[in-house]
Amino acid sequence: MSVAQKSSSQNQSSIKFGQIILWVAVTLIVLFCLAPVLWQLLTSFKTNEAISAVPNVYFPAPNQLAFEHYLKLGWGFIWYVFNSAFVSITSTIICLGIGAPAAYALARLKLPGENIIIACVLIVSLFPYVLLFLGLLEVVKGLGLGNNYLAIIIPYTGINLPLTILVMRSFFQQLPKDLEDSAKIDGYNTISMLWNIVLPLTIPALVTTGILTFIFAWNEFIFALTFITRSEMYTIPVAVAQIGGSSLFEIPYGQIAAATVTGTFPLVILVLIAQRRIVQGITAGAVKG
C-alpha cells in the first residue's frame, strides 16, 4: 500500500471517529436537557401506584397510564391559564409599545447625557428584581392595587423594559440611516416612518424581546403570589403551588406534574411558531457584509 493510500485511510478513520464523538456528545446533551421534561410528562400520565412504586417506574406500562391527574385539575385550571395569558400579553404589548420608541430615540437622537441614560438602563436591567419586592409592596398598598391585574402588569413591564430598550436600540443602530432620510424626503414624519418602515424591519428583534418578556411574565411567582390573593385571579405558577393532597402529608406529584405540563404547553407552542423569528433576532448583526 502506498503512502498516499495510508494517509487517506487514516484521514477517513479519524473523520469517522470524530463524527461518532460528535453524535455521542449531541445525544448526551439532548438527553441531559430533555430528561427532566420527559420525566415530568410521564409522571403526569402515571397512576398514583406507579408514581409511588419502589423501585421507580421510569417507563410505565399501558396499565399504569391514566388521564386522572389532568381530569382532577378540572376546567377551573383553564381560568388560571387565561389569567397568565392576559397578564403576559398585556405586559408584553406595553413593554414593546414603550421600549421601541425609547430605543429608537436613544439610537438616532443625540440626547444630552445619552451615555448616562444608557448606563442607568443597563444597571437597572442587571439589578435583581427580587430586591424591589418590599418597595413595590408598599406602592401596591398605597395605591390600593391589591388583587388587581395592574399590581403585577406594571412591575413586569418595568422589569423587562430596560432589556427591551437595550436590545431594540442595538437593532435600530444596525439599520442604515439613509433609509430614514429617504422616507423623510418622501414626506413621512417621525411617527409614520417608525410605524411603516422602521418597525417592520425590526420584527425579529420585536419577536425576540417580546417572547423574553412574555416568558418572564408567564413564569414569575413572587409578585403574583404576594400581590394577588384572590384564588380566581391566580396565575399558573401560583395555582400550581396551591395544589395540595387530601391530607397534610400527601404530595400530589401526578397532579402537580399535569399542571406543570399544561402550563408549559402554551410556551412550547409559542416558541415553535416563532422559532424562525427568534433565530433571526438572536443572530442578526452577528455577520456583517
Per residue in 217-227, pLDDT (tens digit) is 999 998 998 89
Looking at the chain, the whole-number percentage of residues with pLDDT higher than 90 is 12
pTM of the model: 0.81
219 close to 64: Cβ distance less than 8 angstroms: no
87 vs 149, 152, 156, 219, 233, CA distance in Å?
7, 8, 9, 11, 10
Range scoring the smallest mean pLDDT among 17-21, 135-139, 259-263: 17-21
Q: What is residue 92's predicted lDDT score, i.e. its pLDDT?
A: 93
Do residues 44 and 257 touch, judged by C-beta distance below 8 A?
A: yes
Lowest mean pLDDT segment, chosen from 10-19, 80-89, 110-119, 232-241: 10-19
Contact 64, 46 (CB under 8 A): yes
pLDDT tens-place string over residues 268-279: 888 888 777 666
Task: Find the farthest-apart pair of alpha carbons in the chain and give their distance in angstroms, rounded.
Answer: 88
Summarize the confidence of residues 64-74 as an average pLDDT. Answer: 84
Arithmetic mean of pLDDT, 174-203: 79
- Region 170-199: mean pLDDT is 79
Whole-angstrom distance, CA of residue 177 vs CA of residue 169: 14
Strands (E) across the chain are located at: none
- Residue 94: is its pLDDT beyond 90? yes
Helices (H), ranges, 109-194: 114-126, 133-143, 150-174, 177-185, 190-193
Measure the CA–CA gap between 28 and 55, rounded to whole angstroms: 24
| Structural domains present in the chain | 3-66 (no CATH), 71-283 (1.10.3720.10)
- What are 46's strand-pairing partners? 65
pLDDT score recorded for residue 235 = 92
Residue 121 has pLDDT above 90, yes or no: no
Q: Tell me the pLDDT band of 288, cut-offs 50, 70 and 90.
A: very low
- Reported as a single tens digit per residue, the pLDDT across 242-254 is 887 656 667 788 8
- Average pLDDT of the chain? 82
